[in-house]
Structure 1
């Protein structure tokens, strides 16, 4: 007799849960079968049918609705159901793709409704209406900037066709000098002297260089292409200005709804204007909205702070911890384990715009003399720049989360503090490893390292140390500990001695010869005088420096003076060097 196993159903957590399979032309809605005789309904994608769908769900007593983020077709459905007072969650299609049996729109809706009723779906982050509007304006603005950048390339291409090297002698074709000259060319100005006089005072290229670069082959079809590209660039710049007005209005409304911050707005760390930034000051408005100044965090400027607020909102309690937040940004390591073995720890790919902006900020902060910059450089030398960028971006994201969630104040300890802390960690690890082998490490008293702060020749000494020990230790490790660059070491190693260095070598050979003839007794004054008698006139400090580097030191006799107080011969004063009194 065969025994049939009874299927065990999952507990129902949301009895009034519905699900919608989103489509381009129609939507399939599934509700619990206990609520009506026809639990499956199909509605067209027209706005009237969407309102009818919302009314039908409200009449059945539905409290929560789940849907997949299919393209952009879910956005009008989400907004209509949200206005109807329903709780709507948008789930990732990757988490609900295991539909048993053949795939169809009806089965997708039923499977999604079952998962949602059992509480197995996680809601994707969706900001409030005002923040969502701010995000839409900023994304549209960035799209306009991308289109404008494409037309800048079209202008450069048209200039190349006419053999005009304007974009090679000025840093930006769309700058003050570049736009004046391009507009003059379109206005049929061909005199290179007149065009060169349009140079801005801040332009580094001279009049002669600009005049030579503007001698080209002006063909009408290429001038027409240049005109078209310039007109399209100007058009998108006007669209960007209109977006700025809308962004300012949204920020003003959000600031009016926020309480006044307790602390005053600090002074800006940088006064330079960022390229492609909005044309108004966002710091006071963001300080009013968030209650803190996000630009005090290294790597976060006014525009990046605006992008972070527009994408993440002001309430970061949706993420329980900073680890959840960085995982949402796809900046944390992966965690794929099977059979007790780590299959992969690679960071998953993501199209999150916030992660892209944070990575750009990490590259910028890696060149600063800050704790974050030191962290980036240490990881870049050990793991490579790609992983260092991701790790530094994650640190900036954690600082942003702690500032927004808990109001933590960011104070940069500096690169020296970070390097000292890192050195302490390395020393402790070495001490533990030495103790495991039965050894004990002791610090050398008075040792400050090979490359001393403020030492003029410290970098060269570091390079010499790396060259002597490159077969023993990795260059990256020695460069990080000595605080020198690997590229600088390779350049120094391949560089031929300069004329001044060659003169130092010849002079040092003469100094060694004089020092040897004096049986190691001559110091700097006597050697300098001997060189002068030989017709070699050099500075005293140069002789002292070469002798110090070569380890040459003269021998001087001790000077004895009469000690009248002790009535004996000895050193000045009544120190321990005095001879005893006669008996």
Structure 2
């Protein structure tokens, strides 16, 4: 059965005798679909300045109305939906215009189904806001829309601050790049003798230069004792051109860098307070311990000042840092984007659903018995990005996960191998949280009978190719 979108009459804006178009008037020719799945469903088309809402016909004399996007208009929208006995509504995730409407309706007890705009775009006919609202209402009433994942309100507050912190870290990196540019113009080659110009040695030397110090030996004495560069190289790198305009710009950039670092420190305190208020109040009886042979994982300089091993163990009941490649970046994304164990298992009951939401598993498109496309789904997911970064760092790791990463990169290619390793990490994380078990490398890489038969077949092919024969051991 072909389903066509509702159409509205054409607008006639001519002077003298032209019939004026009513923007809230429902379309006369509509193709009805079965609305028994959600009979009390509504549809909302979100815009920057106005919001068009459609309710089931018969609930009101005017079942399509337009409201302003101001707070007063949102309250009128909420009251009208409640008066029409609407219990659930569907809206597209248009920019961030939908957030306030979503929160207000959710507080009123109306279930909000946030859908991807791509899922409802393939609609023929003329496109108007009224048509979009009516089409969303019909699809939602028929139960044809998938609800997008949105974490709980307490996790949303944490996610907002973590994302804001990530933007500050990126902005701070831009300041570091501009500082390095000015130092290069001054012919001070600090980046050749120090690993980071924003490290302990680099910051101390730049601060002394801005204070008026120019003697290379005095500046070189400010370096950290762990610096591996020779004193001769450091002295040579500190001979530069100290022009006034360079020093002025360097001072401004250093002030901005220090200001962002202060903001990051305040953010870390606020985030730590929010993290402590989410999840189980009681700490599990068992304390997280590193597995035998496991190395102590270092925390990056841009990581949140938080005890990730303890907090993640309280959130999920297992020590996810036991997994090779998993660090503070993955745990930060997991805790802020999804939340504790109960939230994860409620929204993603299986590893398949978890990996599909991340967009790291193959999304096969099959038609006529043929696979048209087998790549991963194009999506932007912060947790998936963190898992890919974790997989990227496993390239030279001497462990089973590192071997898996290298094997996948050799078989599929670099980018595809990284995604396949991120897929493996996501499945291991979900299995550990769902089963409440510690990381077991042998269990994570166990082979099934199908894999054994495939390996045996490959060995037989190779031996026959070279003139040998496999004989089973008696």
Cα RMSD between the aligned structures? 2.8
- Rounded to whole Å, the distance in 1 between the matches of 2:78 and 2:281 is 32
Using the size of structure 2 for normalisation, the TM-score is: 0.86
Aligned to 1:273: 299
CA contact (8 A) 1:22 1:67 kept: yes
The reply on whether 1:202 has 2:231 as its aligned counterpart is no
Q: CA deviation at 1:74?
A: 0.5
- Rounded to whole Å, the distance in 1 between the matches of 2:253 and 2:296 is 34
Aligned to 1:33: 57
- Rounded to whole Å, the distance in 1 between the matches of 2:167 and 2:458 is 52
- For residue 303 of structure 1, the aligned residue among 295, 315, 329 is 329
- Rounded to whole Å, the distance in 2 between the matches of 1:275 and 1:444 is 54
CA contact (8 A) 2:33 2:142 kept: no
Q: CA deviation at 1:440?
A: 8.9
Aligned to 2:13: none
1:391-448 residue CA offsets vs partner (Å, 9 max, x unmatched): 0000000111112233233112399x889x99966651146769999x9933599xxx
Aligned to 2:207: 183
- For residue 107 of structure 2, the aligned residue among 56, 69, 83 is 83
Using the size of structure 1 for normalisation, the TM-score is: 0.71
CA contact (8 A) 1:434 1:441 kept: no
CA contact (8 A) 2:56 2:63 kept: yes
CA contact (8 A) 2:217 2:235 kept: yes
The reply on whether 1:133 has 2:157 as its aligned counterpart is yes
- Rounded to whole Å, the distance in 2 between the matches of 1:56 and 1:274 is 51
Aligned to 1:312: 338
For structure 2, list consecutive stretches of 5 or more residues without a partner in the other structure.
1-30
- Rounded to whole Å, the distance in 2 between the matches of 1:172 and 1:81 is 49
- Tell me which stretches of 4 or more aligned residues in structure 1 moved more than 6 Å: 434-437
Which one has more relative contact order, counting CA pairs under 8 Å at least 6 apart? 2
Aligned to 2:10: none
CA contact (8 A) 1:258 1:289 kept: no
Q: 1:336 to 1:302 in 2, by over 3 A?
A: same
Q: 1:371 to 1:91 in 2, by over 3 A?
A: same
Aligned to 1:23: 47
CA contact (8 A) 1:99 1:108 kept: no
Aligned to 1:226: 250
- For residue 250 of structure 1, the aligned residue among 274, 277, 290 is 274
CA contact (8 A) 2:91 2:115 kept: yes
The reply on whether 1:370 has 2:399 as its aligned counterpart is yes
Structure 1 window deviating more from structure 2 (78-87 vs 52-61): it is 52-61
The reply on whether 1:429 has 2:457 as its aligned counterpart is yes
Larger radius of gyration: 1
1:244-295 residue CA offsets vs partner (Å, 9 max, x unmatched): 111111111114x444424222248415332311123232222222222221
- Rounded to whole Å, the distance in 1 between the matches of 2:59 and 2:443 is 63
Q: 1:356 to 1:431 in 2, by over 3 A?
A: closer
For structure 1, list consecutive stretches of 5 or more residues without a partner in the other structure.
1-6, 446-583
- Rounded to whole Å, the distance in 2 between the matches of 1:275 and 1:235 is 17
